[in-house]
């Protein structure tokens, strides 16, 4: 039995709940953002994000070849709530939103299941939601060292990838816990957006492309 089949079942369950046509589970949301930004080819582009967000977001923009631009519409409030667009790309950071039928069409929506504050608490994990089948197939191989879904003794290697796949044991836990988002009659529960405070990342020159 292929132990990764449980991950496929978990991905299907996430699609059913979020309304996304496709889902690829990975080991964390930061790597989901990196893969999405890499596929979206942000090299050399200015990507605008809130100044108050988790620090891996500007890291992944830079790792993917983009330039970080902090928005000016956050004034005096260091609290981030729900999902937001990484403007200049088709990527959405949805680490603080996980609710019924939330998928935004024509986007790469990145979710987080890591840490004590997320609705789906798996300890570690994330995913990319998309309606782009070509991107979906690329994400599946990219997070699995460029491999196809077969034994590497039988595979043909023609793609460079990353070791970002979700541990099947975490996917199995996800299949169990995702049931909490449904009522007893089978209808979906709407979950509130999460709000978290973050430091002002504009203070740190490491994220400023002009100073690096």
Q: What is the CATH number of the domain that holds 127?
A: 3.40.640.10
Tell me which of 29 and 75 has the higher pLDDT: 29
Over residues 131-157, mean pLDDT: 92
Mean pLDDT of the chain: 94
Confidence of residue 76 (pLDDT cuts 50, 70, 90): low
Tell me the mean pLDDT in the region 28-43: 98
pLDDT at residue 182, as a whole number: 98
Q: Is the pLDDT of residue 75 over 70?
A: no
Whole-prediction pTM: 0.95
The answer to whether position 89 is within a domain reads: yes
Percent of the chain with pLDDT over 90: 87
How far is the C-alpha of 20 from the C-alpha of 7, rounded, in Å?
16
Structural domain range at position 164: 5-207
Write the CA distances from 109 to 32, 96, 166, 187, 206, integer angstroms. 9, 12, 17, 23, 26
- Percent of the chain at pLDDT exceeding 70: 96
Report pLDDT for 57: 98
Rounded Cα distance between 30 and 36, Å, is 10
Sequence-ordered alpha helix ranges (H) in the chain: 5-18, 29-39, 56-63, 133-142, 168-177
Burial class (CB in 10 A: 0-12, 13-18, 19+), 160: exposed
Q: At residue 189, does pLDDT exceed 60?
A: yes
The residue with greater pLDDT, 152 or 164, is 164
Q: Are 153 and 52 in contact (CB under 8 A)?
A: no
74 — pLDDT class (breaks 50, 70, 90): low
CA separation for the pair 110, 115 (Å, rounded): 15
Taking residues 152-180, report their average pLDDT.
95
Residue 212 lies in a domain: no
Question: What is the number of structural domains in the chain?
Answer: 1
pLDDT of residue 72: 78
For residue 212, is pLDDT > 70? no
* Spatial CA neighbour of 162 closest among 55, 36, 45: 36
Residue 25 or residue 1, greater confidence: 25
């Amino acid at each position: 039995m292929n132990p990764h089949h449980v991950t496929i079942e978990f991905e299907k369950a996430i699609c059913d709940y979020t309304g996304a046509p496709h889902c690829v589970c990975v080991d964390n949301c930061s790597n989901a953002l990196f893969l999405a930004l890499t596929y979206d080819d942000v090299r050399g582009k200015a990507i605008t994000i809130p100044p108050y967000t988790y620090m891996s977001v500007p890291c992944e923009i830079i790792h993917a070849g983009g330039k970080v631009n902090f928005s000016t519409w956050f004034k005096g409030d260091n609290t981030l709530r729900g999902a937001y667009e990484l403007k200049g790309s088709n990527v959405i950071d949805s680490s603080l939103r996980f609710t019924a039928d939330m998928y935004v069409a024509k986007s790469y929506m990145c979710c987080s299941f890591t840490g004590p504050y997320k609705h789906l608490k798996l300890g570690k994990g994330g995913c990319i939601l998309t309606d782009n089948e070509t991107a979906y197939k690329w994400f599946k191989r990219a997070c699995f060292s460029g491999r196809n879904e077969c034994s590497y003794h039988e595979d043909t290697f023609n793609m460079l990838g990353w070791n970002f796949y979700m541990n099947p044991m975490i996917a199995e836990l996800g299949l169990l816990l995702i049931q909490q988002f449904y009522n007893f009659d089978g209808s979906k529960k709407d979950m509130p957006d999460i709000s978290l405070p973050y430091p002002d990342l504009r203070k740190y020159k490491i994220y400023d492309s002009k100073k690096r």
